[in-house]
Amino acid sequence: MRKKIIAGNWKMNKTPSEAAVLASEIRNKISDAKCDVVVCPTAVCIPGVVSALEGSSISVGAQNVHFKESGAYTGELSSAMLKDAGTLYTIIGHSERRQYFGETDETVNLRTKAAVDGGLIPIVCVGESLSERENGIMPETVCRQTKLAFLNIQKDDAENIIIAYEPIWAIGTGKTATAQQADEVCGIIRNTIKELYGEDTAEKIRIQYGGSMNAGNAEELLSMPNIDGGLIGGASLKPDDFAAIIKAAD
């Protein structure tokens, strides 16, 4: 049985002081969570959130990581920097980074390898646009993204990577794939991992759903056989809602 994992992507929200308060509120509401719980604040908020969660079972993640260890990359953060700051996870290839900041399948792969080498657990995002779904090329899109993200990743490392299925048309729109639609695509992703690494790895790897999961739909989505958790956006900024999603995962 794969352990569920719920990760909150706070995106560009909360000042450092506000993020520390939010982290404390979440900690107080989910002290007995049975699933893995991760919160991913902006980089400037990481130290305060790590401090607020010290001694709890909640892990901290980053929202991005650079693929070089150091160098002339103004504004970027390496895996070593993030690890030293107290993070355990990092989101990679979120649709917003692909859409607004030039992220490509190639850079997703480079970041994934850098995260693995640096001791971070990647949460690798894949997902189709509305036009790709409507034109029947959703399977090809998510298969390609998955295969390229895992290029040259060894089997033992692959088993620890989290995949987040994010239908782009459901990010921040309030639209949500039905539980059956989400499970179908997560199944396609799992079969892609099976092609790459075999059935054993495919059964071990955890796949989240990341398209507007909330307190109202989490229980149904998380009951699906191929959905092992959620990458939560807006609802992760609301302690009560985030706690309800975690309860559904438990």
Q: Please choose, from the candidates 174, 164, 165, the residue with its C-alpha nearest in 3D space to the C-alpha of residue 212.
A: 174
Q: What is the pLDDT of residue 45?
A: 98
Which residue ranges are tagged as binding site? 9-11, 172, 212, 233-234
Catalytic residue numbers, as ranges: 94, 166
Q: What is the pLDDT of residue 31?
A: 79
This prediction's pTM: 0.96
Residue 86: CATH number of its domain: 3.20.20.70
Q: Report residue 91: phi and psi, to 5°.
A: -75, 140
Q: How sure is the predictor about 177, in pLDDT bands with cuts at 50, 70 and 90? A: confident
Domain containing residue 158: 5-249
Total domains, the chain: 1
pLDDT in tens, 18-45: 999 999 999 999 978 999 999 999 999 9
Gap between the Cα atoms of 114 and 134, Å rounded:
34
